[in-house]
């Protein structure tokens, strides 16, 4: 029989740490009971360490996992986000459906082993290498749906609208031909994908790629079409990641990207502003007040030389945020939290910047904020250990040398985020009340990772 409950001596609830918590859930994996100061009923499993909520990963381009480590050399006098992007386009141009599915399956297994229990897939490679739609226009989306189902990963699928290569409607480049869809064609794809997503508990949304890639009329029509299909569907957009993009937006419209977006689009709590690195204090405050989530991807933002998100200004306006692994230069939920906090320490010359008066332990504070923001951006019930949410849980290894005998569960979570090798201190990962990772290993670990390696080998043979 499948378990329906777990007893935790320490559990991190949305309100903070609680003792002797009996967690129970139903057949669908939704939490039906969270009872603190409980006694462990006979027959119920005791968690072997503190239980924390599973982390939603709010931004992923799965195929990019295949070239991790392969763009870390200087190709021109000066390398940049834009030179990286040309290399990335080479891989995007060559990937096959089979390779995408294998890479995504391997990646999702890695994510589960690293504390992520769901992912928002910002999916823009739609067509064949010549830019022609596949016989089944949803072919590559289906690869991602199957990969998530096989790995046992929660999914929010965000098909990407991509139409232009720059502000003002400049035509797409050859390297972008696999990404391009008309607005009507995108809406037809969404219609088709909606029941397929629902059948596996995945959520469907839309990602206008960026203001560079989607002209104003298309943005308006696509949003209207999406919300006619599902009024609460999530909307994710890359915004203000690079200063060159800010300058180009200013030249085009006289406004900065976030400023333009706030004035021309109905930004609200359904939205996730991915990166949002370069905002003025005024933009930041206004954007935070819409209820939108800032989608922060600390390892990729560092890897690509984007700049540093101004967290203090965002938090001052009660801004919501979550983390994503984006290009997957790093695949580890705790590590993204650590890098985010460290970027703030380097920028402000202070410590524990993302802690608060209410929650002084920075690892605890960040975990709760990132789970809440990630769940909102995912538009799935993955907002932590509370009734009505999915039983997505991570059990820390209380016997890990860095955690053993520490006085409090906060200290153990802090040691996991700041002092351990991060992956090594994870004992179990549960998704919707089912164990997916045991003693740090997913059942599909070997098969899924060999699949990823084989697909990468093929892909590299076919990439110039
Ligand atoms: C992407 N990645 O869509 O994969 C982008 C690069 C672009 C990041 N922004 C392409 N990190 O922004 O044009
Ligand atoms: Zn991205």
The closest residue, in CA terms, to atom 5 on ligand 1 is 85
pLDDT over threshold 70, residue 1? no
**For a substitution probing ligand 1, which of 238, 299, 323 has the most ligand atoms within 8 Å of its CB?**
238
Nearest ligand atom owner, CA of 176: 1
Residue spans of alpha helices (H) in 20-138? 81-94, 97-113
Atom 6 (ligand 1) nearest CA: 85
Contacts of 436 (CB under 8 A, 6+ apart): 112, 117, 151, 152, 153, 429, 430, 442, 443
Contacts of 92 (CB under 8 A, 6+ apart): 63, 125, 175, 178, 179
**Closest ligand to residue 245's CA:** 1
Give the mean pLDDT of the chain. 97
Residues with CB under 6 A from ligand 1: 61, 85, 210, 238, 241, 300, 304, 326-327
φ and ψ at residue 116, rounded to 5 degrees? -90, 135
Using alpha carbons, select from 26, 49, 102 the residue that is nearest to residue 429.
Answer: 49
Cα of 253 vs centre of ligand 1, distance in Å, is 21
Q: Residue 387: count other Cβ atoms within 10 Å of its Cβ.
A: 12
Compute the chain's Rg from CA coordinates: 21
Q: What angle do CA 40, 45, 47 make, to 5 degrees?
A: 95
Give CA–CA dist 77/330, Å, rounded: 26
Q: Is the pLDDT confidence value at 269 over 70?
A: yes
* Strands, sheet with 293-296, edge to edge from the N-terminal-most edge strand: 235-239, 271-275, 293-296, 320-323
pLDDT at 96: 98
Burial of 217 per CB tally in 10 Å (0-12, 13-18, 19+): exposed
Residue 442 tokens read as: 């997913």
At residue 76 the predicted structure's pLDDT band, cuts being 50, 70 and 90, is: confident
Residue 341: band (very low, low, confident or very high) from pLDDT cuts 50, 70, 90 = very high
Confidence bin at 392 (pLDDT 50/70/90): very high
Q: Which atom of ligand 1 is nearest to the CA of 61?
A: 4
Question: pLDDT tens, 425-460?
Answer: 999 999 999 999 999 999 999 999 999 999 999 999
**Nearest CA owner, ligand 1 atom 4:** 61
pLDDT for the residue numbered 58: 99
Per the listing, tokens 């580890």 go with: 332
Q: Which stretches of 197-341 are assigned E, i.e. beta strand?
A: 203-204, 207-208, 235-239, 271-275, 293-296, 320-323
275 a catalytic residue:
yes
Report the separation in Å between the CA atom of 238 and the middle of ligand 1, taken as the mean of its atom positions: 8
Alpha-carbon gap, residue 355 to 176, rounded angstroms: 41
**pLDDT, mean of residues 138-155:** 98
Asked whether the beta carbons of 408 and 398 are under 8 A apart, the reply is no
Which residue is closest in CA terms to ligand 1's atom 13? 85
Give the ligand whose atoms come closest to the C-alpha of residue 212: 1
Q: Which of 241, 274, 300, 307 to mutate to test the pocket of ligand 1 (most atoms within 8 A of CB)?
A: 241
Q: CA 38 to CA 40: how far, in whole Å?
A: 6
34 backbone dihedrals φ, ψ, rounded to 5°: -135, 100
Q: Please state, in angstroms and as integers, the Cα–Cα distance from residue 179 to each residue in 18, 152, 214, following that order.
A: 47, 27, 12
CATH number of 55-378: 3.20.20.140
Q: How far apart, in whole angstroms, are the C-alpha atoms of residue 160 and residue 236?
A: 9
The CATH architecture of the domain made up of 4-53+392-445 is: Roll (2.30)
Confidence at residue 116, expressed as pLDDT on a 0 to 100 scale: 98
- Between 253 and 1, where is the model more confident? 253
- Residue ranges per domain, the chain? 4-53+392-445, 55-378
pLDDT in tens, 157-201: 999 999 999 999 999 999 999 999 999 999 999 999 999 999 999
CA–CA gap between residue 300 and residue 71 (Å, rounded): 12
HEC string of 9-54? EEEEECCEEEEEEEEEECCCCEEEEEECCCCCCCCCCECCCCEEEC
Strand intervals (E) in 176-307: 203-204, 207-208, 235-239, 271-275, 293-296
Q: In what helix (H) or strand (E) does residue 189 lie, and over which residues does it extend?
A: helix 183-199
Q: Cα of 207 to ligand 1 centre, how many Å?
A: 12
Measured CA distances, 374 to 131, 392, 411 (Å): 33, 13, 23
Active-site residue identified among 10, 61, 275, 328: 275
- Cα(209) to ligand 2 centroid in Å equals 8
Average pLDDT (16-42) is 98
Q: Which residue(s) pair with 56 in the sheet?
A: 118
Is 264 part of the annotated catalytic residue set?
A: no
Q: pLDDT above 90 covers what percent of the chain?
A: 97
Report the C-alpha gap between 321 and 141 in whole angstroms: 26
- Choosing from 326, 397, 400, 416, the catalytic residue is 326
Of how many residues is the chain composed?
464
């Amino acid at each position: 029989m499948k378990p329906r409950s777990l007893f935790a001596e320490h559990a991190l609830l949305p309100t903070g740490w609680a003792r002797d918590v009996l967690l129970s859930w139903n057949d669908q994996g939704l939490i039906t009971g969270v009872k603190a100061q409980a006694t462990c009923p006979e027959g119920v499993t005791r968690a072997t360490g503190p239980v924390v909520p599973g982390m939603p990963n709010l931004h992923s381009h799965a195929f990019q996992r295949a070239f991790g480590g392969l763009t870390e050399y200087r190709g021109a006098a000066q390398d940049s986000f834009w030179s990286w992007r040309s290399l990335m386009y080479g891989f995007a141009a060559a990937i096959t459906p089979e390779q995408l599915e294998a890479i995504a399956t391997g990646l999702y297994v890695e994510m589960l082993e690293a504390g992520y229990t769901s992912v928002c897939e910002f999916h823009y490679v739609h067509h064949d290498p010549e830019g022609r739609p596949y016989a089944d226009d949803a072919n590559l989306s289906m690869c991602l749906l199957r990969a998530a189902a096989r790995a046992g990963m929660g999914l929010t699928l965000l098909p990407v609208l991509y139409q232009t290569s720059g502000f003002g409607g400049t035509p797409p480049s050859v390297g972008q031909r696999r990404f391009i869809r008309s607005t009507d064609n995108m809406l037809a794809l969404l219609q088709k994908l909606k029941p397929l997503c629902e059948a596996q508990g995945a959520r469907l949304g839309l990602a206008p790629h960026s203001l560079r890639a989607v002209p104003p009329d298309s943005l308006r029509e696509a949003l209207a079409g999406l919300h006619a299909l599902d009024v609460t569907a999530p909307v994710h957009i890359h915004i203000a990641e690079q200063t060159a993009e800010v300058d180009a937006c200013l030249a085009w419209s006289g406004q900065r990207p976030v400023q333009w977006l706030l004035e021309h689009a109905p930004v609200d709590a359904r939205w996730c502003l991915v990166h949002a690195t370069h905002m003025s204090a005024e933009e930041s405050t206004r954007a935070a007040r819409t209820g939108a989530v800032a989608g922060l991807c600390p390892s990729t933002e560092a890897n690509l030389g984007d700049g540093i998100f101004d967290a203090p200004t965002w938090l001052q306006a009660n801004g919501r945020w979550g983390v994503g692994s984006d290009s997957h230069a790093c695949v580890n939920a705790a590590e993204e939290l650590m890098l985010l906090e460290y970027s703030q320490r380097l920028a402000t010359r202070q410590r524990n910047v993302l802690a608060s008066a209410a929650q002084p332990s920075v690892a605890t504070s960040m975990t709760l904020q990132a789970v809440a923001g990630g769940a909102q951006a995912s538009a799935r019930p993955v907002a932590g250990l509370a009734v009505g949410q999915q039983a997505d849980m991570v059990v820390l290894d209380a016997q890990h040398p860095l955690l053993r005998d520490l006085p409090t569960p906060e200290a153990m979570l802090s040691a996991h985020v700041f002092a351990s090798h991060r992956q090594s201190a994870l004992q179990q990962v549960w998704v919707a009340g089912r164990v997916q990772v045991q003693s740090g290993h997913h059942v599909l670990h070997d098969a899924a990772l060999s699949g990823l390696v084989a697909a990468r080998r093929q892909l590299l043979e076919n990439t110039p």
